Amino acid sequence: MPHKKPVVVVSRKLPDVIETRMMELFDTRLNVDDHPMTKAELIEAIKDADVLVPTVTDRIDAAIMSQAGPNLKLIANFGTGVDHIDLASARQRGITVTNTPGVLTEDTADMAMALILAVPRRISEGERLIRSGEWKGWGPTFMLGHRIWGKRLGIIGMGRIGQAVARRAKAFGMSIHYHNRKKVHPDIEAELEATYWESLDQMLARMDVVTVHCPHTPATFHLLSARRLEVLPKHAYVVNTARGEIVDENALTRMLIRGDLAGAGLDVFEHEPAVNPKLLSLNNVVLLPHLGSATIEGRIDMGEKVLINIKTFADGHHPPDRVLASMF
C-alpha cells in the first residue's frame, strides 16, 4: 500500500514553483485567490490537516488550535517571525512549529540600509516633490538633509540581520553600536568594530540612528516605549524593519509631530495593515508596506525551507528549523 501523503493547508498564495513542488509531494490545499483567511476559514481548513503553512498575517492562537483535528502535528510557518503563533498552546498539543531562518537576512538588511539612507537624505520627500510638479530647480540651501558618514548607528538585536546591517553601515562610514541579550563573538565585534551596550537606555542617548532587529516577544513589546524614545537625541532617526509592536507607534508619532525626533523609516506597523493616519501627513517619515523580505529570491528560499521542514517531518525525523526559543 502506498504511503499516504500528508494533508497540507497553505494559508496564502506562494511562488508558483513552490506550490507546484508542494502539490507533487503532498496532498495540498492552496489559497488560489490569495485572500487573507478569516478565523472561521482557518478553523475549517485545519480540521482535516496534518500540516498548516501560515504566514505573518495569520493569527494562530489557542482558540484556532483547539478546533484543529487530531492529525495536525506541524505548523510550518512561511516566515522567520513566529509571534503570530501561540507557541505555548502548540507545545501543549504536541504540535511542532518550524520557521524559515537565515534566508531573509540579506534582503531585510538591504531594506534597513535603504531606510537608513532614505530618511536623513529626504529621498522619499524629494521624490514626492518631483511627482507633484512643484520642483522649481536646484538651490544651495534647497532640501538639505544629513550625511550618514561618521554617524553613530545603534542596532537593537545583533542576530543575523543586525550583523548584516552593521556590515553595510560600516561600509558607509557609520560607527557601529549594539544592544543585545548578550555580546556577540569577539571576532564579529572586531570585524564590525562594534561597541556593545549592556544598557539600552545609555546607548539610545548617544545614537544618531537607531535600527530595530529583534523579534517580537512579550519581553520586546514596546521595547522602544515612550520613555525610551524620549531618551533619544532630537536629531536622531528611528528605523524599524522588524515588527511594529516593538515600537510604541503612537508615542513615536507624537514625538515626530513635535519635532522631538528628526525622522523615521518604517517598514512595519503596530496594527498593520492599519497605519496611524498622522504618520501619513509627515514629510520626515518614509513608510513602506512591509517589503523587508519581498524579493523573488527570498520568497522562493522561504518556500524551499518550508518544503524541507514538512518533508523531513513527514518522514519521521526532526525538521531542521524547529522553533525552540527567542534569539534576542
Indicate if 139 and 218 belong to the same structural domain.
yes
- Edge-to-edge strand ranges of the sheet holding 152-156: 195-196, 175-179, 152-156, 209-212, 237-240, 263-266, 285-287
Q: What angle do CA 280, 294, 157 make, to 5 degrees?
A: 80
Domain presence at residue 280: yes
Q: Is residue 1 part of a domain?
A: no
CATH number of the structural domain spanning residue 91:
3.40.50.720
Please indicate, yes or no, if residue 175 is contained in any of the structural domains. yes
Are 174 and 35 in the same domain? no
Are both 28 and 55 inside the same structural domain? Answer: yes
Clarify whether residues 115 and 97 are in a common domain.
no
> Does 114 share its domain with 239?
yes
pLDDT given at position 4: 85
| 252, pLDDT greater than 90 | yes
Instruction: Give residue-wise pLDDT tens across range 34-77.
Output: 999 999 999 998 999 999 999 999 999 999 999 998 999 999 99
290 catalytic, yes or no? yes
pLDDT of residue 324: 74
2 located within any domain: no
List the catalytic residue out of 243, 245, 270, 299. 243
Distance CA 222, CA 148 (A): 27
Of these residues, 189, 272, 304, 322, which one is catalytic? 272
pLDDT score of 327: 39
List strand residue ranges (DSSP E) for 141-188, in order.
152-156, 175-179
**What are the phi and psi torsion angles at 325 (to 5°)?**
-160, 165
Question: Does residue 326 surpass a pLDDT of 90?
Answer: no
Q: Tell me, yes or no, if 299 is annotated catalytic.
A: no
What are 93-112's pLDDT values in tens digits?
A: 999 999 999 999 999 999 99
Residue 172 within any structural domain of the chain: yes
Question: Can you tell me which residue has the cell 522602544?
Answer: 224
pLDDT score of 328 more than 80: no
Residue 284 identity (one-letter amino acid): N
Does the pLDDT of residue 228 top 60, yes or no?
A: yes
Domain that holds residue 95: 7-102+295-314
Task: List the grid coordinates of 78.
Answer: 512561511
The answer as to whether 323 is a domain residue is: no
77: left (phi over 0), alpha (psi -120 to 50) or beta: beta
Q: Do 282 and 188 share a domain, yes or no?
A: yes
- Asked whether residue 120 falls in the same domain as residue 70, the answer is no
What phi-psi label fits residue 94: left (phi over 0), alpha (psi between -120 and 50 degrees) or beta?
left
Q: Which of 29, 122, 216, 290 is catalytic?
A: 290
Look at residue 3 in the predicted model and tell me its pLDDT. 65
* One domain, residues 265 and 173: yes
**Could you tell me if residue 322 is inside a domain?**
no
Please check whether residue 93 lies inside any domain of the structure: yes
Residue 216 catalytic?
Answer: no
Are residues 273 and 169 part of one domain? yes
Q: What is residue 152's three-state secondary structure?
A: strand
Total structural domains within the chain: 2
Span 138-147, mean pLDDT?
97
Q: Are residues 135 and 245 in the same domain?
A: yes
Closest CA to 317 of 74, 141, 42, 111: 74
Specify whether 240 is located in the same domain as 178.
yes
**Domain match, 88 and 112 both:** no
Query: Does the structure show a pLDDT above 70 at 220?
Result: yes
